[in-house]
């Protein structure tokens, strides 16, 4: 069993209130800690859209918070309250909605008025409930789910098969701990990278002997996603491959080199990934380009009945061709490229 076992998120779901849920989270955290896991974050998702109450009432608990899914109209009705929060995640569900200038305006309002919140703001399509990963998490029923930072399990692996085996063993260990608990919703086996070294999916790909460009036209990623969908003892949520442009710092390097443009991102997302994630945009990006990309992602999600999301991020200052200054430890600063050449 791997020693580098990192839980990205223990996420609990409540309809309107936490009640005893901090105690439940503490119990889950303790049991995982006793098995040698490091826990990065504890999170809570509500069905309620009461932004101000939840942001104020639960701030002392030190939890990452989400209000889950909104229609565009619902989001606009609370947008001013949301822009004043510092720890609330939201998503706008565009699965069946028209995509027009109002959608782009909602994004650029966040960019211009509360750019740090672009990290906590996404558009989603065919998004399944109960994922522990933000901002995709959506309430369906009370309970909790668990998500790993699984690239770290590859730290001692020399082959893809060794890493997949480590993931399977880890999922089974977590399942064995909690499967009798009626509140345990399951494990989101998504591959969720973060940082450099062992936390980076691209670092592992290169340790296997691939360049990033060569890996794109191999079956490497399809092998990964087939495995994580079919070997998880209790799957919940997304169970796909995340390609967070600026959270995987070595993927951010590929972005700066021009190897991870929006077309490459969409190509990988279509066969293995979950969409466009922490992708940088300049404050002067063309809104029509944003609208067209969202329309395409919507069409692809519908065609393949596939969960996809789009999370563009901005520091509120950098234009195309300038360097970002996110002041966010989860995001690597880069020189912004245009969405379309």
Q: Are 325 and 315 in contact (CB under 8 A)?
A: yes
Q: Are 249 and 299 in contact (CB under 8 A)?
A: no
Question: What pLDDT score was predicted for residue 48?
Answer: 80
Question: What pLDDT score was predicted for residue 300?
Answer: 96
Query: Does 281 map to a domain?
Result: yes
In this predicted structure, the answer to whether residue 60 has a pLDDT above a threshold of 60 is no
Query: Does 336 map to a domain?
Result: no
pLDDT digits (tens, 9 = 90+) for 184-197: 999 999 999 999 99
The percent of residues in the chain predicted with pLDDT above 90, rounded, is 86
In this predicted structure, the answer to whether residue 128 has a pLDDT above a threshold of 80 is yes
In this predicted structure, the answer to whether residue 250 has a pLDDT above a threshold of 70 is yes
In this predicted structure, the answer to whether residue 17 has a pLDDT above a threshold of 80 is no
pTM: 0.94
Query: Does 1 map to a domain?
Result: no
Side-by-side strand order, sheet with 308-313? 184-188, 143-148, 6-14, 38-46, 64-70, 88-93, 121-125, 308-313, 275-280
The percent of residues in the chain predicted with pLDDT above 70, rounded, is 97
Query: Does 332 map to a domain?
Result: no
Q: Give the total number of structural domains in the chain.
A: 1
Three-state secondary-structure class, residue 144: strand
Query: Does 334 map to a domain?
Result: no
Question: What pLDDT score was predicted for residue 165?
Answer: 97
Residue 207 vs residue 49, higher pLDDT: 207
* Alpha-carbon dihedral 178, 69, 87, 105, rounded to 10 degrees: 150
Q: Are 280 and 336 in contact (CB under 8 A)?
A: yes
In this predicted structure, the answer to whether residue 59 has a pLDDT above a threshold of 80 is no
Cα distances (angstroms) measured from residue 267 to each of 234, 257, 258, 264, 271: 28, 18, 15, 5, 7
In this predicted structure, the answer to whether residue 1 has a pLDDT above a threshold of 60 is no
pLDDT digits (tens, 9 = 90+) for 213-239: 999 999 999 999 999 999 999 999 999
pLDDT digits (tens, 9 = 90+) for 292-323: 999 999 999 999 999 999 999 999 999 999 99
Give the domain range for residue 17.
6-313
Q: Please, what is the angle between helix 220-230 and helix 160-178, to 10°?
A: 20
Question: What pLDDT score was predicted for residue 47?
Answer: 86
* Listed residue (145, 88, 144, 151) closest to 114, CA to CA: 88
Query: Does 12 map to a domain?
Result: yes
Question: What pLDDT score was predicted for residue 18?
Answer: 65
Question: What pLDDT score was predicted for residue 19?
Answer: 67
Query: Does 84 map to a domain?
Result: yes
Domain of residue 282, CATH code? 3.20.70.20
Q: How confident is the model at residue 2 (pLDDT cuts 50, 70, 90)?
A: low
Whole-number mean pLDDT of the chain?
94
Query: Does 329 map to a domain?
Result: no
Question: What pLDDT score was predicted for residue 3?
Answer: 67
Give the ranges where the chain is alpha helix by DSSP (H).
21-34, 51-57, 72-83, 101-113, 160-178, 201-207, 212-216, 220-230, 249-256, 262-271, 287-304
Three-state secondary-structure class, residue 24: helix
Q: Average pLDDT, stretch 104-132?
A: 97
pLDDT digits (tens, 9 = 90+) for 323-336: 999 999 999 999 99
In this predicted structure, the answer to whether residue 174 has a pLDDT above a threshold of 60 is yes
Question: What pLDDT score was predicted for residue 54?
Answer: 81
């Amino acid at each position: 069993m791997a020693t580098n076992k990192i839980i990205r998120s223990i996420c609990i779901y409540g309809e309107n209130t936490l009640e005893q849920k901090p105690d439940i989270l503490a119990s889950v955290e303790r049991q995982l800690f006793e098995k040698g896991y490091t826990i990065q974050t504890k999170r809570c998702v509500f069905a309620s859209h009461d932004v101000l109450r939840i942001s104020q009432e639960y701030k002392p608990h030190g939890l990452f918070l989400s209000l889950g899914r909104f229609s565009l109209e619902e989001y606009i009705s609370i947008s001013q309250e949301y822009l004043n929060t510092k720890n609330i995640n939201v998503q706008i569900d565009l699965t069946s909605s028209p995509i027009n200038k109002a959608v782009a305006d909602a994004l650029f309002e966040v960019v211009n008025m509360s750019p740090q919140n672009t990290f906590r703001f996404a558009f989603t399509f065919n998004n399944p409930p109960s994922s522990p990963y933000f901002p995709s998490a959506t309430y369906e029923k009370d309970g909790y789910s668990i998500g790993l930072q699984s690239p770290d399990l590859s730290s001692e692996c020399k082959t893809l098969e060794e890493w997949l085996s480590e993931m399977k063993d880890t999922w089974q260990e977590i399942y064995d701990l909690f499967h009798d608990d009626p509140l345990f919703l399951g494990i989101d086996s998504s591959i969720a990278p973060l940082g450099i070294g062992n936390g980076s999916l691209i670092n592992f790909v290169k340790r296997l002997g691939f360049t990033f460009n060569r890996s794109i036209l191999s079956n490497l990623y399809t092998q990964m996603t087939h495995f994580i969908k079919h070997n998880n003892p209790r799957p919940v949520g997304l169970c796909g491959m995340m390609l967070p442009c600026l959270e995987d710092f070595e993927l951010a390097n590929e972005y700066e080199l021009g190897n991870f443009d929006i077309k490459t991102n969409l190509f990988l997302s279509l066969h293995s990934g979950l969409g466009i994630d922490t992708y940088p945009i300049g404050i002067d990006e063309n809104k029509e380009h944003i609208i067209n990309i969202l329309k395409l992602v919507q069409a692809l999600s519908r065609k393949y009945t596939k969960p996809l999301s789009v999370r563009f991020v901005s520091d509120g200052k950098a234009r195309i061709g300038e360097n970002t200054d996110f002041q966010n430890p989860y995001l690597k600063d880069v020189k912004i490229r245009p969405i379309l050449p």
